Structure 1
Amino acid sequence: MPAESAAEVDIPEGFELSKSRGPFTTHNGPVFRATGAGDLRCGIRVLDRHCNSMGFMHGGMVSSFADGALAWAVWHATKKMSVTLKLTISYFDTIRPGTWLEAHPEVISSEDGIVHVCADLLINGEKLGARADATFRTLRRTAK
């Protein structure tokens, strides 16, 4: 099956292809970000390649998507690159192909380069599919 390009993926209004994607996300995406000022939501259209043999989104893909959304919130709050120290995912529902999965990240605290952040991952913007909680460490390098 050919890989879908970002242009071929149906995305909700108010989102655009993420511009700061590394090779991993570029290969495994596409991932999108909300375009409104201060709107930190990230989204992904679940494609067949994101799914496990049972036909729903692979837990590792959910985790990877959540990690990226959380890192985006850390960058937005600190204007610094960061690394994940701890990531916990709680799964509440299966996420099927064709679903729009949306992360709603929120920074809980930031002190001395340690940032605590969480996100609800909503199926089609409504139903809770998963929740992510993480701790990040910011790096000295700041964004350009």
Structure 2
Amino acid sequence: MTFDPAAAGWKQRSGQGPFTREVGPIWVKREKDGADGSAYALLAEERHTNSRGVVHGGMLMTLADHVLGWMVWDAVDRVACATVSLNNQFIAAVKPGDFLEMRGRIVRQTRSLIFIHGAATVGDRTVLTAEGIWKVLGQG
């Protein structure tokens, strides 16, 4: 039986742009207050896989960029931001049907840069970790 994120209390994230709609939907669940208070998720599908039948690393990096970027965006009251650097460590394979959850936390914030760490899991198994730097661009 296929996992149903909506039945488990997840909601599709609103405001997803054209690229995100192509690879998503991405799901969100509020866990606590603050910029890093939400968990995000993707239900892995066959279309996300590589030739080996596991989720493509580029898809995992896409999820990390989106999730950590949304957390940064929330932290700066939804002012425009851009990814400066994003490093990913691939720890385990993700298969179609897996529900891939990602959480992050801001580790440092200056006026113009935000440093964030995140981890993606399937159940209790960590499959990806990521560290990124985002530039706060300001209103625009």
Number of matched pairs: 134
Is residue 2:14 matched to residue 1:10? no
Q: 1:74 aligns with which of 68, 72, 75?
A: 72
Distance 1:115 1:74 in 2: 7
Q: Which residue of 1 aligns with 2:84?
A: 85
Deviates more, 1:46-55 or 1:75-84: 75-84
State the 1:35 CA deviation.
3.4
CA contact (8 A) 1:114 1:137 kept: yes
Normalised TM-score (structure 1): 0.87
Is residue 2:129 matched to residue 1:135? no
CA contact (8 A) 2:103 2:119 kept: yes
Deviations 1:53-108 (A, max 9, x none): 10111000000001000011101211122110000000000001100000011111
Is residue 2:97 matched to residue 1:98? yes
State the 1:9 CA deviation.
7.0
Is residue 2:27 matched to residue 1:28? no
State the 1:13 CA deviation.
2.0
- What secondary structure, in the 3-state scheme, does the structure 2 residue paired with 1:95 have? coil
CA contact (8 A) 1:14 1:35 kept: no
Distance 2:116 2:15 in 1: 20
Letter in 1 for 2:134: F
Distance 1:141 1:29 in 2: 27
Distance 1:87 1:141 in 2: 23
CA contact (8 A) 2:3 2:97 kept: no
Q: Which residue of 2 aligns with 1:5?
A: none
Deviates more, 1:11-20 or 1:61-70: 11-20
Normalised TM-score (structure 2): 0.89
Structure 1: state its 5+ residue gaps: 1-7
* Root mean square deviation of aligned Cα: 1.7
- What secondary structure, in the 3-state scheme, does the structure 1 residue paired with 2:8 have? coil
Deviations 1:7-61 (A, max 9, x none): x972162310010211100111110111345232100000000111101110000
- Moved runs in structure 1, 4+ residues, more than 3 A? none
Is residue 2:122 matched to residue 1:123? yes
Distance 1:91 1:37 in 2: 27
